């Protein structure tokens, strides 16, 4: 018995937590003590299992994945899908991130959600989310992965709409699920095409036989990968399906940190890495992946420049950073994409949890004075570094990480993606454009993060005279996880230190067995020597410049509290209103669809054409033509029956003759 | 279990018992006290369920062909006999019926408060008819049961229905009658043709199946008659407009039986009779293209119209049009995966839609309205009800891990080879399905609670939990471990596929069919 064979425990533990907390939520909502133990407890236990598996793989790196089959799920003729989990280097990394970061966020939530009447329900949903997320990363076939893929969507839906009595929150949950479902059509169709091409849906079979089954660059593999990527744009909030993620901030902040920053939204990146050989065989698709990624990275970063809600800034930042990851995997630098996934999980979870602490403090201050100001609007903050030094310091670490300042973790991962895109430019020049967009997005990233930090923590405080005295640092149960994430955000780059600074690209080598099929098709040659130094230098310079500009521009002008602030005008308004994309979707897709359904299909076809003209018309005709008979009838049914009998007999005669 | 069943000669009497028991139950229901009718009905339907469960073990898995066949001559001079038997497909349909029947009785406990004796007598007659439809192996017997399902339902809607019940009941009756009379004609013609070819006058299913080729040039007409009868029953677009009216007016138990079981008679009819009798016609490129096109239109159309329904019951009725469209696509998909998927959709739709109608009935009993706008925010007041509504809704939406996904996935996966474009179009239904149901449950259990009436909305009682929970167990079981059901159906499905194996050539799009028809006409 090894840890790898007990991998089902990692799923079963949070699932058991869901059942216990769910039962408590229904029957004993006040049993918060038990919930506080079970909720984070099952996560920590799952993390132990994950760590055990990781160490096992570390000691003896396997060349083939360990597949643990629980039972036969869909045995239908040639199709044989087992409910099975796959342990290999890639799923082990995800397993560690999900349970590790998940544990920290669960602990934080004990403090953050303490006063909420839905405390038990919250942990039930969070536990269920982790269980599904682990099914997603561990599934050994496309359909099993899809259980997790949709399951995390369900939990996301439930947690975004957690405070469901507010219609805005319920709307946001609905929007998230529907947008994800649009992507899921892609995932489903991709599965059908894979089935048609391979006669199997198991990862080991598909990755093992892809190179012999599919023609490189052919229509089939291109279609498969594009449909898969459609799924990614939904789950990982890329253009054109990204608009649900900013709205998803309606959920409690730990949810934003766990689901909408660190884990679920990275599932698309994981999917591309998992199916790397398919994408490697489809250069056109890969270019589209990288292109959409670069475009999203830049586009979302511009929107982040003009948001006032602290969580909205971070949400667009997440969309933008996910774009980077897709640039990475679309370039063929799958390890770099996964590397950024890991570091981003650390620093973005830290940023969200830090923002949560800020909101928590703001909310309590306003609550104490019965004020109804917006606790998430950065224009109402300012100068919080005095009241919340720990939060400030730790969020500063995360800011430096995301801005790409060495030696913080984000520097290494982002630099690797950009360098890879630059290198790919040698053979496909459009990648130079993606590189340039990435660099520009990096500048904007540093800028909006500096703006966020300056508006929140620096300058004079704008919360209000009476409220100011109530602002204070969060309790240790919240600051503790922040500290752990701060450490990870700082040293996370060590996961995959490049040769340039004396590292050995540990993560890249670790993932080698899983990524080998893809790399065999299209290996990437990374820049070396002076080019490498130049690229690194440029990236660092861009980050520093962005930060300086951001701090200067924000501190240089007086900021008014939200209530007194003048409305944005011109391009600033366009950015603040997110380019009016939501309004565009509403006008072009949602309303016409409802109009088509209501006016054309229901009233027109159903009630007018079929019922009005055909059915009732037939009844009317039969009444008119059966005028003589009608007088004999006492009820309608008889009339119809006779008519139809006559008709039937007539046909009978015709057929027999 | 198998040994125990053998020791009591279960296989020899069970099918007769399932038919006779409910009819026997009618007697005490009619003669007894009106107040005790429901209890008698519950006892009889539960006994029927317990008896039927043995079929699960009595059917030898892996063995193709019809089992437990019994033959009793009935009208020998016309070649009609009382002939019954089951295979894996009949098995699951019978079990679906016997499971839902006691739940429907239990759901009517307070809902039906007038003329209880009549109601429960009709319910028991219905049970006999529904079981009969799925086990009949004589075409005349099948026709009798087919019609017999109609009459109790007509009265259940017409007497215990809503305000517009008479219109709905007549519409339902006339629609179905239209098709079934044509089918009767087709049955008789087929029997005569087969008699002419073989010299044997018989309505026996296997005999007709073996010799259906004798239909010759009449085959297209005969198929058309069968297909129309079943298409109305399914219902396939554009023969569906009786369904929303019938559902909205029917009492809860009527809606449950209608949606969960009666619609499946249509798809069962295609699988058992229409397609295997006339595979050359049914699976010809032109007819295939027509059926698949109508199926996919039904899938999308039903979902879109469901999206804009203000009445929750009507919404679910239109969603049935969508789900049953998937079944039709699966049948014509013509692979092991697609047909097995179609069967699973039939079962899943029975459980999920049945559960939805039961929950709607519980809402109606509390608030006397099914309009979505009357509700809102009740998740805080009734967490158990809200949880169950959410689970059932997600099962209907096709969340993997619950039952709806299994069938949907297999149908689409299995149809991609024969009908790639239709399959991709049909796949988009996952968006709309989430749209109409989640939007509906948001307006019921989420949003602001602003109507004080909803504040008093009581949570589910023990009786109501007893109605819903068995279905939820089924929903989770089929979602996670459908293998036992799939294995039991597989021999029957394989036999169906072998019997209907024809090569597909020619047009496979609606436009192609049009062109084909025009060319034929020119010739």
Cα B5 to chain center, whole Å? Answer: 29
- pLDDT tens readout for residues A22-80: 999 998 878 889 999 999 999 999 999 999 999 999 998 888 899 999 999 999 999 99
Is pTM beyond 0.90? Reply is yes
Of the candidates B174, B305, B337, the beta carbon closest to that of A76 is on B337
Q: What is the pLDDT of residue A467?
A: 85
Q: How far is CA B351 from CA A62, A127, A274, B409, in A?
A: 45, 28, 36, 17
Three-state secondary structure along A91-116? HHHHHHHHHHHHHHHHHHHHHHCCCC
Q: Which residues of B touch A597 (CB under 8 A)?
A: 304-305, 307-308
Instruction: Identify the weakest region by mean pLDDT among A128-142, B235-249, B389-403.
Output: B235-249
What b-and-e string marks burial along A168-198, b requiring 16 or more CB atoms within 10 Å of the CB?
ebbbbbbbbbbbbbbbbbbbbbbbbbbbebb
Q: What ipTM score was computed for the predicted complex, to two decimals?
A: 0.93
Q: Rounded to whole angstroms, what are the CA distances from A227 to A194, A234, A245, A278, B296?
A: 11, 11, 21, 12, 21
Q: Which two tokens stand for residue B393?
A: 């809704």
Mean pLDDT of B174-191: 91
Q: What is the mean pLDDT of residues B195-213?
A: 92
- Nearest residue of chain A to residue B314 (CA atoms): A602
How confident is the model over B413-445, as pLDDT tens digits? 999 999 999 999 999 999 999 999 999 999 999
Res B504: pLDDT = 45
**Among B282, B302, B322, residue at a domain's last position:** B282
Same domain, B335 and B243: no
CA distance A4 to A56: 8
Regarding whether B302 and B258 lie in a shared domain, the answer is: no
Nearest to A77, CA basis, from B444, B110, B340, B197 = B340
| Residue B453 confidence (pLDDT) above 60 | yes
Residue B509 has a pLDDT of 53
Residue of A521, A525, A523, A526 lying closest to A277 (CA atoms): A521
B388, pLDDT greater than 90: yes
Are residues B230 and B332 located together in one domain of the fold? no
Judge: A165–B409 Cβ closer than 8 Å, yes or no. no
Quick one: average pLDDT of B81-89?
Answer: 94
User: B408 to chain A, minimum CA–CA distance in Å?
Assistant: 11
Q: Taking the alpha carbons of B202, B208, B214, B216 in that order, is the dihedral positive or negative?
A: positive
Cβ-defined contact of B481 to A170 (cutoff 8 Å)? no
Whole-angstrom distance, CA of residue A496 vs CA of residue A407: 12
Same domain, B32 and B62: yes
> In terms of domains, do B271 and B287 share one?
no
Does A170 sit within 8 Å of B446, measured CB to CB? yes
Contacts of A619 (CB under 8 A, 6+ apart): A636, A640, B174
Whether residue B365 is found in the same domain as residue B243? no
Tell if the CB–CB gap between B480 and A598 is shorter than 8 Å.
no
In the prediction, which pLDDT does B507 show? 47
Q: Exposed, middle or buried by CB within 10 Å (0-12, 13-18, 19+), for B110? A: exposed
Query: Which pLDDT does position B512 carry in this prediction?
Result: 59
Whether B273 and B302 share a structural domain: no
Using 50, 70 and 90 to split pLDDT, how confident is the model at A108? very high
Find, among A54, A53, A25, the residue nearest to A39 by Cα.
Answer: A25
Name the closest residue on chain B to residue A183, using Cα atoms. Answer: B431
According to DSSP, the β-strands at A79-87 and B80-86 are unpaired
B102 and B83 belong to one structural domain: yes
Taking a C-beta distance cutoff of 8 angstroms, is the pair A326, A239 a contact? no
Domain closes at, from B228, B263, B282: B282
Average pLDDT value for residue range B73-89:
93
B288 and B252 both lie in a single domain: no
pLDDT in tens, A385-422: 999 999 999 999 999 999 999 899 999 999 999 999 99
Indicate if the pLDDT at residue B523 is higher than 60. Answer: no
- Residue at which a domain ends, from B282, B316, B345: B282
Q: Per-residue pLDDT tens for B269-309?
A: 999 999 999 999 999 999 999 999 999 999 999 999 999 99
Least confident range of A254-263, A472-481, B247-256, B514-523: B514-523
Nearest CA in chain A to B450: A165
pLDDT at B505: 45
Name every chain B residue with its beta carbon within 8 A of the beta carbon of A173: 442
Residue B196 CB coordination number (10 Å): 11
Residues B276 and B300 reside in one and the same domain:
no
Answer yes or no: is pLDDT of A655 > 60: no
Q: What pLDDT score was predicted for residue B503?
A: 46
State the average pLDDT over residues A3-21. Answer: 94
CB–CB of B406 and A74 under 8 A?
yes
| pLDDT score of A348 more than 50 | yes
Dist. CA A335–CA A353, nearest whole Å = 27
Instruction: Give the residue on A whose Cα is nearest the Cα of B335.
Output: A77
What range defines the domain where residue B144 resides? 1-282
- Cα B484 from Cα B95, distance rounded (Å): 14
3-state helix, strand, coil in chain B (%, to 5): 75, 5, 20
Q: Which of A188, A209, A7 is nearest to A94 (CA)?
A: A7
A219/chain B closest Cα distance in angstroms: 14
CA angle (B219, B225, B227) in 5-degree steps: 95
Q: B97-148 pLDDT, tens per residue?
A: 999 999 999 999 988 888 989 999 999 999 999 999 999 999 999 999 999 9
Write down the residue that tokens 């300086």 correspond to: A548
pLDDT attached to residue A640: 63
Please check the confidence at residue A569 and state whether its pLDDT lies above 70.
Answer: yes
pLDDT average, residue stretch B5-32: 92
Say yes or no to pLDDT of A540 above 90: yes
Minimal CA separation from A543 to chain B, in Å: 41
A vs B: CB pairs below 8 A: 177
Q: What is the mean pLDDT of chain B?
A: 92
- Measured between alpha carbons, how far is A439 from A414 in angstroms, rounded to an integer? 10
pLDDT for res B506: 46
Interatomic CA distance for residues A300 and A238, integer angstroms: 9
Q: What is the pLDDT of residues A233-290, one digit of tens each?
A: 999 999 999 999 999 999 999 999 999 999 999 999 999 999 999 999 999 999 999 9
pLDDT-above-70 percentage for chain B: 96
The predicted pLDDT at position B520 comes to 58
User: Residues B340, B254: one domain?
Assistant: no
Q: Are residues B58 and B174 in the same domain?
A: yes
Cβ–Cβ below 8 Å for B446 and A72: no
Count of domains for chain B? 2
């Amino acid at each position: 018995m090894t840890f790898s064979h007990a991998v089902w425990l990692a799923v079963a533990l949070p699932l058991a937590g869901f059942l216990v907390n769910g039962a408590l939520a229904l029957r004993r909502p006040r049993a918060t003590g038990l919930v506080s133990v079970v909720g984070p407890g099952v996560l920590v236990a799952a993390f132990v299992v994950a760590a055990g598996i990781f160490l096992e793989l570390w000691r003896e790196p396997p060349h083939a994945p360990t597949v643990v089959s629980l039972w036969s799920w869909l045995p239908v003729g040639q199709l044989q899908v087992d409910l099975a989990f796959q342990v290999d280097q890639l799923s082990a990394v995800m397993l560690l991130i999900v349970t590790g970061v998940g544990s920290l966020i669960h602990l934080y939530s004990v403090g953050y959600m303490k006063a909420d009447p839905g405390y038990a329900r919250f942990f039930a949903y969070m536990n269920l989310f982790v269980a599904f997320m682990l099914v997603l990363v561990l599934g050994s076939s496309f359909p099993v992965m899809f259980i997790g893929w949709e399951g995390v969507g369900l939990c996301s839906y439930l947690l975004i709409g957690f405070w469901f009595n507010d219609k805005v929150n319920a709307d946001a949950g609905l929007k998230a699920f529907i947008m994800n479902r649009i992507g899921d059509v892609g995932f489903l169709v991709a599965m059908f095409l894979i089935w048609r091409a391979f006669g199997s849906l198991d990862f080991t079979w598909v990755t093992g036989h892809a190179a012999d089954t599919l023609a490189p660059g052919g229509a089939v593999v291109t279609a498969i990968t594009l449909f898969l990527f459609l799924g990614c744009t939904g789950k990982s909030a890329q253009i054109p399906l990204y608009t649900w993620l900013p709205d998803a901030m309606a959920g409690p902040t730990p949810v934003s940190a766990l689901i909408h920053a660190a884990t679920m939204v990275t599932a698309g990146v994981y999917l591309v890495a998992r199916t790397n050989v398919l994408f490697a065989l489809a250069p056109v698709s890969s270019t589209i992946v990288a292109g959409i990624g670069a475009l999203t990275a830049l586009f979302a970063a511009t929107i982040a420049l003009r948001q006032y809600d602290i969580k909205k800034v971070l949400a667009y930042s997440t969309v933008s950073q996910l774009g980077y990851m897709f640039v990475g995997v679309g370039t063929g630098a799958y390890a770099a994409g996964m590397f950024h996934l890991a570091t981003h999980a650390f620093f973005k979870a830290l940023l969200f949890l830090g923002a949560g602490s800020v909101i928590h403090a703001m909310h309590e201050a306003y609550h104490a004075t019965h004020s109804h100001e917006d606790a998430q609007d950065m224009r109402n903050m300012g100068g919080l570094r005095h009241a919340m030094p720990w939060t400030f310091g730790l969020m500063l670490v995360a800011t430096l990480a995301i801005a790409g300042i060495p030696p913080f973790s984000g520097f290494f991962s982002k630099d690797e993606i950009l360098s890879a895109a630059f290198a790919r430019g040698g053979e496909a020049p459009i990648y130079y454009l993606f590189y340039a967009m990435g660099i520009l997005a990096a500048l904007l990233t540093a800028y909006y993060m500096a703006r966020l930090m300056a508006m929140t923590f620096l300058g004079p405080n704008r919360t209000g005279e009476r409220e100011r005295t109530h602002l204070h640092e969060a309790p240790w149960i919240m600051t503790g996880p922040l500290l752990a994430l701060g450490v990870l955000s700082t040293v996370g780059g060590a996961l995959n230190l490049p040769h340039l600074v004396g590292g050995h690209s540990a993560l890249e080598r670790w993932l080698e067995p899983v990524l080998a099929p893809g790399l065999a098709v299209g290996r990437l040659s990374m820049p070396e020597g002076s080019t490498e130094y130049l690229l690194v230098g440029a990236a660092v310079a861009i980050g520093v410049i962005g930060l300086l500009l951001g701090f200067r521009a924000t501190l240089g002008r007086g900021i008014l509290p939200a209530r007194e602030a003048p409305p944005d005008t011109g391009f600033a308004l366009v950015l603040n209103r997110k380019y009016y994309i939501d309004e565009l979707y509403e006008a072009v897709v949602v309303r016409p669809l409802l109009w088509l359904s209501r006016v054309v299909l229901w009233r027109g076809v159903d009630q007018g054409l079929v019922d009005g003209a055909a059915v009732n018309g037939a009844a009317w005709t039969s009444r008119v033509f059966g005028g003589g008979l009608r007088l004999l009838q006492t009820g309608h049914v008889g009339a119809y029956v006779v008519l139809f009998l006559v008709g039937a007999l007539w046909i009978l005669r015709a057929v027999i003759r | 279990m198998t040994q125990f069943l053998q020791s009591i000669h279960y296989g020899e009497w069970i099918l007769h018992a399932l038919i006779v028991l409910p009819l026997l139950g009618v007697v005490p229901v009619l003669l007894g006290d009106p107040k005790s009718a429901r209890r008698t009905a519950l006892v009889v339907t539960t006994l029927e369920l317990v008896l039927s469960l043995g079929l699960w073990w009595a059917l030898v898995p892996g063995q193709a062909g019809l089992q437990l066949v019994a033959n009793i001559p009935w009208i020998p001079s016309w070649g009609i006999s009382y002939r019954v038997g089951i295979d894996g497909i009949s098995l699951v349909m019978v079990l679906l019926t016997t499971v839902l029947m006691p739940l429907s009785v239990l759901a009517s406990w307070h809902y039906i408060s007038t003329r209880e004796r009549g109601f429960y007598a009709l319910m028991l007659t219905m049970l006999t008819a529904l079981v009969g439809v799925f086990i009949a192996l004589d075409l005349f017997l099948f026709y009798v049961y087919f019609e017999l399902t109609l009459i109790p339902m007509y009265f259940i809607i017409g007497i215990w229905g809503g305000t517009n019940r008479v219109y709905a009941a007549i519409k339902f009756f006339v629609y179905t009658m239209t098709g079934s009379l044509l089918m009767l004609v087709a049955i008789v013609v087929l029997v005569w043709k087969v008699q002419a070819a073989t010299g044997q006058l018989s309505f026996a299913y296997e005999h007709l199946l073996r010799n259906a080729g004798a239909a010759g040039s009449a085959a297209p007409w005969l198929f058309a008659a069968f297909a129309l009868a079943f298409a109305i029953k399914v219902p396939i677009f554009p023969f569906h407009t009786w369904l929303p009216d019938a559902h909205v007016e029917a009492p809860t138990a009527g809606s449950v039986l209608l949606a969960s079981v009666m619609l499946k008679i249509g798809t069962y009819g295609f699988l058992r009779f229409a397609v295997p009798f006339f595979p050359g016609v049914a699976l010809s490129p032109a007819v295939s293209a027509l059926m698949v096109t109508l199926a996919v239109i039904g899938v999308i159309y039903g979902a879109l119209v469901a999206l804009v329904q203000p009445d929750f019951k009507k919404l679910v009725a239109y969603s049935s049009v969508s789900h049953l469209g998937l079944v039709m696509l699966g049948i014509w998909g013509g692979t092991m995966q697609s047909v097995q998927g179609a069967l699973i959709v039939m079962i899943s739709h029975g459980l999920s839609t049945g559960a939805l109608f039961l929950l709607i009935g519980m809402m109606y009993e509390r608030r006397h309205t099914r309009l979505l706008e009357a509700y809102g925010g009740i998740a805080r007041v009734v967490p158990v009800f809200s949880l169950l509504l959410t689970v059932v809704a997600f099962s209907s939406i096709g969340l993997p891990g619950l039952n709806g996904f299994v069938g949907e996935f297999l149908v689409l996966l299995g149809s991609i080879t024969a009908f790639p474009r239709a399959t991709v179009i049909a796949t988009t239904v996952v968006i709309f399905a989430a749209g109409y149901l989640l939007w509906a449950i948001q307006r019921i259990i989420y949003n602001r609670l602003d109507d004080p009436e909803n504040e008093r909305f009581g949570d589910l009682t023990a009786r109501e939990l007893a109605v819903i929970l068995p279905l939820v167990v089924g929903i989770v079981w089929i979602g996670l471990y459908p293998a036992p059901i799939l294995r039991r159906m597989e021999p029957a499905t394989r036999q169906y596929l072998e019997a209907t194996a024809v090569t597909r050539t020619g047009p496979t799009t609606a436009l192609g069919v049009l062109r084909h028809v025009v060319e034929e006409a020119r010739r």
